[in-house]
Structure 1
Amino acid sequence: MVKKRKDVRRRILDVTRDLLIKKGLSQLSIRMIAAHVGCSVGTIYFYFDNKDELVHALIEEGFEKLITIQENVETDYSDPCIRFEMLCRNYISFARENPEYYEIMFTLNQQQMARYPSEKYRRARRTLDILADALDKCVEVNSGKVKDPYFSAHLIWTFMHGLVTLLQARRIDHNINEDKIVNATIEQIIRLNFDSLE
């Protein structure tokens, strides 16, 4: 029975993720989800209080996947500069390999849903905390100093997010190799004079 409940919940989440991308948040409804899952509206409400809670569950899933990847990088790379590079590479790889999760995590119109719960937001922030820590330690071992590592991590994130968004939207010139531009972007991030980020 427990496994069956988990399977139903998983099915609801998978269908919702697909519908969010195809229909958009404003068009999504519990009734639509139930129809595509092949269950009653009441079954959806057995697992989720409302549409917002369902969407928040998908956002949380996406961040947990990304955090797991980043924490593995923390464990696997003791050199902070290599760790910083791998965090950047794995962020972009995550986005390219999980486009639906990425879109739900970062591009949904927040005004169309309830505020993301503060405890979940704090957990999601760990993605930037890990990047900020690697950046800070990388600069430190090179006798530099970053005044505000968290702000700097945000700045670097905007570079990567911009690239990912263009790649997802297929707005990069088709004559430009995607892997080449990804590598070039990461190299430029690494070459930044970290002191200038203060």
Structure 2
Amino acid sequence: MARRSDHSREEIREMALEAAERLIAEQGSKALSARKVATAIGYTVGTLYLVFENLDDLILQVNARTLDRLHARMLEELAPLDDPMERVLQLGHSYIGFANDHPHHWELVFEHRLPPGKQPPQWFRDKVRRMFALVERELKPLAGNRDSQAISRGAAALWSGVHGICILAIGGQLEVAGVDSVQSLTRSLMRNYLTGFRTNGSS
């Protein structure tokens, strides 16, 4: 068992987050525990809790890294595109693609629940808000005369639809319904919504 002096606090933090991410990828989010993370990095649970407040704090930190990677992927895959409609459609494809590539990490972001009465810290809410801000930014060129509040509602409605498809796809329920291409379904939903959004916002 390593001594606490073997690594700095920041090094232990990074080791723990990487170990947690490996456990999630290999065994699923429900397999994550403080004991498993501590064992994986060669430290005690007590040492782990000198770095993180509790398991919820560690999970929030892991989820924040997942959101950072998702945001970075969206930006990267937007970069080659100029057409406003295609850019919004690409956001949906990037989201579905990320969830498909990292299902356990994606699930943990939305499945994790804090104890009753406990709210996520502001820094975490800012990362969630950044995702919606990206959708709103890309939706704006299609919004016509709509104000910022209407654009925010549009972004929330559109993303809720994509998220719903993603949940069904990850759970294998779309296959039962006879859907053979999640990306095609996502594109159809988004294109139909965006066509109406752009037309109704032009007056």
Partner SS, residue 125 of structure 1: helix
Give the corresponding residue for 2:165.
163
- Matching of residue 186 in structure 1 with residue 187 in structure 2: yes
- Matching of residue 146 in structure 1 with residue 173 in structure 2: no
Alpha-carbon distance in 2 for matches of 1:38, 1:20: 21
**1:69/1:104 Cα in 2 relative to 1: closer, same or farther (>3 Å)?**
same
Give the corresponding residue for 1:45.
49
Contact 1:17 1:58 in 2 (8 A): no
**1:44/1:197 Cα in 2 relative to 1: closer, same or farther (>3 Å)?**
farther
**1:104/1:111 Cα in 2 relative to 1: closer, same or farther (>3 Å)?**
same
Contact 1:152 1:197 in 2 (8 A): no
Contact 2:77 2:90 in 1 (8 A): yes
TM-score by length of 2: 0.77
1:10-34 deviation per Cα after TM superposition (whole angstroms, max 9, x unaligned): 44322563566234xxxx6533543
Alpha-carbon distance in 1 for matches of 2:115, 2:46: 26
> Which moved further from structure 2: 97-106 or 110-119?
110-119
TM-score by length of 1: 0.78
Q: CA deviation at 1:167?
A: 1.0
Q: Determine which of 102, 107, 114 is the counterpart of 1:103.
A: 107
Give the corresponding residue for 1:116.
120
**1:64/1:7 Cα in 2 relative to 1: closer, same or farther (>3 Å)?**
closer
- Amino acid of the residue matched to residue 151 of structure 1? R
1:17-68 deviation per Cα after TM superposition (whole angstroms, max 9, x unaligned): 3566234xxxx65335434555311331243232121011011011101111
> Which moved further from structure 2: 39-48 or 111-120?
111-120
Partner SS, residue 65 of structure 1: helix
> Which moved further from structure 2: 80-89 or 104-113?
104-113
Q: CA deviation at 1:154?
A: 0.8
Give the corresponding residue for 2:4.
none
Partner SS, residue 175 of structure 2: coil
Q: CA deviation at 1:7?
A: 6.1
**1:32/1:112 Cα in 2 relative to 1: closer, same or farther (>3 Å)?**
farther
Contact 1:34 1:44 in 2 (8 A): yes
Contact 1:15 1:37 in 2 (8 A): no
Q: Determine which of 16, 30, 43 is the counterpart of 1:22.
A: 30
Partner SS, residue 59 of structure 1: helix
Alpha-carbon distance in 2 for matches of 1:12, 1:107: 20
**1:10/1:55 Cα in 2 relative to 1: closer, same or farther (>3 Å)?**
closer
What stretches of structure 1 of length at least 5 have no aligned partner?
Answer: none
Alpha-carbon distance in 1 for matches of 2:177, 2:56: 41
**1:29/1:100 Cα in 2 relative to 1: closer, same or farther (>3 Å)?**
closer
Contact 2:145 2:201 in 1 (8 A): no
- Amino acid of the residue matched to residue 191 of structure 1? N
Alpha-carbon distance in 2 for matches of 1:56, 1:6: 13
Matches within 5 A, 1:64-79: 64-79=68-83
